Structure formats: C-alpha cells, structure tokens
Amino acid sequence: MINIPARLKPPGPGGFLGADHFGRDEASMIMAGAWVSLGTAFSGVFIGGTIGTLAGTAAAASRGHFETLTMRVNDVIFAFPPVLSALLLAAVLGGGPATTITAIALFMVPVFARVTRGAALQVWARDYILAARMAGKSAPGSRSNMSCPTSARRSSCSLRSRQVLRS
C-alpha cells in the first residue's frame, strides 16, 4: 500500500527496514519476493534431482553403452559455465520463472546422476546383493528390491543439501 507521508522513513516502529520512496514497507516486500525465489529454486532442484536420480540409476543398472553415453552427456553439461548457459537459455527461451527453473534443473541433473550412479554401484557390489544373486534372484530383481532403499538415502541427502545451498 502506498503511504506518501511515510516515504523514505528510516527503520523503526513503522517498518523493520524502513520505507521506500512510495512509503511501502521494505521488509514486507523482501518477504513477498522471497517466496518466488525459494519456490523457483526448490522446483528447479527437485526436478533436476528427480531426473538425475533416474538417469544415474538407469546408467548404473545398464552398465554398457547407455552408461557411457549418459555420463558423457553429463560431462558435456558440466563443461559449460552455468551462468553462460543460463544466459543462453534465457536468450533462446525468454526470461521468466520457467526458464530459471529449467536452467537450475539442467545443471542439477549431472550432479544427481553422478551421486546416484556412484551410490548404486557401491550398493550393488555388497555381499548381500551378491548373496541374493547366488540364491537365484535375477540381477534386476536383486538390484531394485534390495539396493533402492540404500542408494535412495544418499540421493535424498544430496537433494536436501542442494536445496539448502541453492536458495
């Protein structure tokens, strides 16, 4: 709300951070703008984390040309500076929250793919997975039933830390 008599007031009882040149409270405008920034950051990290986790798990499970191709695509994404790539995306797609979410998600996919692939490969080499395979379980069955809860813990920890660091 515009309050001309309170314009450019210093911090005090009328406003925690003072007022702008229209007399609006600076603190309330910062809090309102923070919701948009936090929502954009959380959405981008969540989408990138989901896609990266699926890609990393699929790459670790395939162990062949698909794994190599997936990791090389991640290397290509890592090779470009994030700010330059975000500017390129903004020039191509236009500005706005959707472009920002896309840029954040694009740069989070390789991070989560590498973490998930590494966790899955470590879990799949454990003795209880090998014992299940020796007992007659198929490789995909033993991998999905026994290792997903263990490797998902590492991916969710990485997701939470990336959300905190990104915002």
For residue range 50-72, what is the model confidence (pLDDT) as tens digits? 999 999 988 888 888 999 999 99
Position 144 pLDDT exceeds 70 = no
The rounded mean pLDDT for the chain is 80
Contact 48, 104 (CB under 8 A): yes
| Alpha helix stretches (DSSP H) within 80-147 | 82-93, 97-124, 127-134, 139-142
- The total number of structural domains that make up the chain: 1
Does residue 18 lie in a domain region?
no
Computed from CA positions of residues 107, 113, 115, 116, in that sequence, does the dihedral angle turn out positive or negative?
A: positive
Q: Cα 148–45–36 angle (5° rounding)?
A: 145
pLDDT bucket at 167, cuts 50 / 70 / 90:
very low
CATH number of the domain within which 51 lies: 1.10.3720.10
3-state secondary structure of 134: helix
For residue range 90-113, what is the model confidence (pLDDT) as tens digits? 999 988 899 999 999 999 999 999
Position 8 pLDDT exceeds 90 = no
Does residue 149 lie in a domain region?
yes
**Which range has the worst mean pLDDT, 31-45, 66-80, 113-127?**
113-127
Helix axes 65-79, 26-62, angle to 10 degrees: 150
Does residue 4 lie in a domain region?
no
Does residue 85 lie in a domain region?
yes
Residue 42's domain comprises 38-166
